[in-house]
Amino acid sequence: MDEARERNLGDLPVLGEDPGRTYRLGIMGGTFDPIHNGHLVAAEQSRHDLGLDLVVFMPAGSPAFKQDLRVSSAEDRYAMTLLATADNPNFRVSRFEIERKGITYTVDTLSALRELYPDNVELYFITGADAIIDIVKWRDADRIAKLATLVGATRPGYNLDTAVDAIDRSGINFDVIYLEVPALAISSSHLRERCVAGQSLRYLTPDQVVGYIDKHGLYVSQRIA
Ligand code: NAP
């Protein structure tokens, strides 16, 4: 990888150094408000099952479909994501989408990553299968299809028909892999509701995240989201 390219990576990992092999980079896209064990298991399972070299958690700066909803600050979401992933050598966290001004569109992220990394680095965009149902409404969905393989993480018992139908009807040639992740019975909205109700978050998200939420008084009042 040439020096200029490496400099431009910022907090993104260097990958693709050996032109003789293919690398697989997972990009874990989400709002992470807050991050929880379901996200962590989904990332680890994706890494293992798809043979990813690394997974970069990328908290959305200003989530495209949540412009009318209350979302915790990007800095809080970033800090919790850092705390949650710190002990896994295969995980990274990037401020890439947080630093970009304006609404966060996945196509902008993937296009930029495609330019930053050499061709021997394949991109895998991992997110919830529920988010993927709406992908045809995402900006430049057809370009996204050319830039990355999509990984839709689902909870057990999740009916894939809606997601599969939405993709089929789009007429866009998405490459989608669905992964069933038992721990995704946990959701961020459930954690927020538990906070409002004064219930414990222990064992649903790492202790460090529980501590951060307590210390900063996140999610204590009723939310719109
Ligand atoms: P969301 O609509 O809040 O999430 C839908 C479902 O997917 C929820 O059940 C959610 O659970 C789950 N989920 C979200 N991220 C996940 C992940 N990484 N792994 C496993 N499950 C996940 O989705 P969002 O968080 O706002 O957006 C997800 C990603 O899609 C982000 O990277 C976002 O930027 C991108 N996106 C892009 C566009 C666009 O470009 N126009 C539009 C929408 C979304 P939790 O609530 O528990 O996470």
31 lines ligand 1 (CB under 6 A): yes
Average pLDDT over residues 168-192: 93
The helix (H) or strand (E) run that includes residue 91 is: strand 91-93
pLDDT tier at 187, thresholds 50, 70, 90: very high
Mutate to test the pocket of ligand 1, among 28, 31, 47, 123 (most ligand atoms within 8 A of CB): 31
Q: Is the pLDDT of residue 223 over 70?
A: no
128 lines ligand 1 (CB under 6 A): yes
Ligand 1, atom nearest to 31 Cα: 25
Mutate to test the pocket of ligand 1, among 39, 127, 138, 177 (most ligand atoms within 8 A of CB): 127
Percent of the chain with pLDDT strictly greater than 70: 96
66 lines ligand 1 (CB under 6 A): yes
**Considering only CA atoms, which of 170, 158, 164, 134 is closest in space to residue 29?**
134
The helix (H) or strand (E) run that includes residue 218 is: none
Average pLDDT over residues 67-76: 94
Give the global pTM. 0.96
Alpha-carbon span 94 to 82, nearest angstrom: 9
30 lines ligand 1 (CB under 6 A): yes
185, 59 Cβ separation under 8 angstroms = no
Lowest-pLDDT range of 13-17, 46-50, 63-67, 71-75: 63-67
